[in-house]
Amino acid sequence: MKGLFDPTINALNQNLNLRLENQNVISANIANADTPGYKAKAVSFEQAMRDAMDLNENVKLEATDSAHFGSKGPEGVTADVYEDPNGVESLDGNTVDRSAEMAKMKENQILYNASVESLRKKLGMLEYGITEGGGNR
């Protein structure tokens, strides 16, 4: 149902989806840490989320066509999965740094939990408005 929730709830929902995808990529990197020739992957979506939410202080572009980037809001943001260019190749060709991936996983989990808490509070306010905020009935 489009338009049921405010843009913050939609953005938090999309952020959770993208954080989940990021967690899956990080998990795959860790699982393949001993696979010869495996190239570590990374996910990039934060800049696209900022663009979609117009959180940058750069010049704002007006979306005059539905195909313009950012005109769909946070729902139109997708994660770009790419080979991590920062990986140092080991003798077997693997570029996974297990300790760095574990740190990325922990950071991603913290950000995921923060988004869940924000969404929980936002939905709690909505529930309060529906159940208690009606005034005289």
Summarize pLDDT for 43-102 with one digit per residue, the tens: 988 877 776 666 555 545 555 665 554 445 667 778 889 999 888 999 999 999 999 999
Clarify whether residues 123 and 134 are in a common domain: yes
Clarify whether residues 72 and 108 are in a common domain: no
Clarify whether residues 89 and 45 are in a common domain: yes
Distance CA 106, CA 113 (A): 11
Clarify whether residues 57 and 106 are in a common domain: no
Mean pLDDT confidence for 5-12:
83
pLDDT at 121 over 80: yes
Mean pLDDT confidence for 99-119:
96
Give this prediction's pTM. 0.74
Clarify whether residues 46 and 91 are in a common domain: yes
Instruction: Find, among 21, 20, 40, the residue nearest to 30 by Cα.
Output: 40
Mean pLDDT computed over every residue of the chain:
82
For the chain, the domain total comes to: 2
CB proximity list for 77: less than 8 A, separation 6 or greater: 14, 18, 45, 48, 49, 52
In a domain, 18, yes or no: no
In a domain, 133, yes or no: yes
Range of the domain at 60: 35-96
CB proximity list for 33: less than 8 A, separation 6 or greater: 94, 96, 98, 101
In the chain, what is the greatest distance between 2 CA atoms, to the nearest angstrom? 73
| Structure token digits, residue 118 | 């924000």
